[in-house]
Amino acid sequence: MSDNSKFKPALQIIRAFIYSACISFIFFLLLNIELINDSNLFGEVAFLGFLIALLEAYFTSRYLNLGRKQHFKYHFSEHLLNHLYYPFLTFFALAFYFLLQTNFTLSYVLIALSFLMYWAYFYYLPLHIHFDHFDVNKNHKIHPRTDFTLHLFKFFSYFVANLTLFTYYFYSKISFDIVVYINFSLNFIFLLFHIFRKNMFNGLNIFMAFLFAVITSFFTLTFKSSYINLSASVATLFFYLTSAIYYHKVDGTFNYKVLIEYGSIATIVSILLFSIR
């Protein structure tokens, strides 16, 4: 198909690499600018990183529309939440974390992981959006990879957001009430995204999202530790378990086998987390 030939996945690899490398370089600058304690320069560099992420989203939208027929036009607003939320949440969470962090080893690990997350995300999501309209057979291969990448980025962004949240709390920069409010908001918004993607936005599912968000926040804040990294890991573990149950419940695929599967994974991860703390 002629429209399909205008989209070059090889070029998309390069575009994804350039944007991801730029954002990772911004993270590197933010981490080291913090050492010279220049808040103005920190804010300017952080804003530059925000613009780079925004430009990626804009030009991806324009790029996907090249040569398309009118009824195949890609409307960016349809994918706005998925395309912007996780990258932006990760960016802002890490930027704030670098303002206060004391663990440079972890910071550099997070920068390296963020580069991989951004690259995979910026590569697979546009590919999925494109082939979903043009080549169903090819999208059968792209779709599971996109879903896997989306889930990884979701949990990574959730982890760094909570890492930043607990870091600010343990250094007495924010109150416990703010921790409760932000943690609950993250849980609720992340769960809402699933029913938004599935086009299953109704009162019952919204109420279930609220209920599961309350449950997740309760266990997260009850089992918080004096170890910042462990608290963020436990929060992500609880969210992983409750969100998985919620997704299956909403999709109508929940049963005792699903509960045993995710419960077993959560138990194994819990043992590892508390053994290496």
Residue 142: CB atoms within 10 Å = 19
d(CA 8, CA 66): 11
Give percent above pLDDT 70 in the chain. Answer: 75
Q: Which of 69-83, 181-195, 239-253, 260-274 has the lowest mean pLDDT?
A: 69-83
Contacts of 178 (CB under 8 A, 6+ apart): 169
Give the confidence band of 116 by pLDDT, cuts at 50, 70, 90: very high
**Quick check: 173 pLDDT over 60?**
yes
d(CA 47, CA 40): 11
Of the two residues 96 and 36, the one the predictor is more confident about is: 96
Of the two residues 51 and 253, the one the predictor is more confident about is: 51
Domain range list for the chain = 1-172, 175-277
**Quick check: 139 pLDDT over 60?**
no
Average pLDDT over residues 36-40: 67
Burial of 163 (0-12, 13-18, 19+ CB in 10 A): buried
pTM of the model: 0.83
Write the CA distances from 262 to 74, 158, 209, 239, 244, integer angstroms.
Answer: 36, 18, 18, 11, 8
Question: What confidence score (pLDDT) does residue 7 get?
Answer: 56
Contacts of 94 (CB under 8 A, 6+ apart): 27, 30, 110, 111, 114, 160, 164
Please state, rounded to an integer, the average pLDDT across all residues of the chain.
79
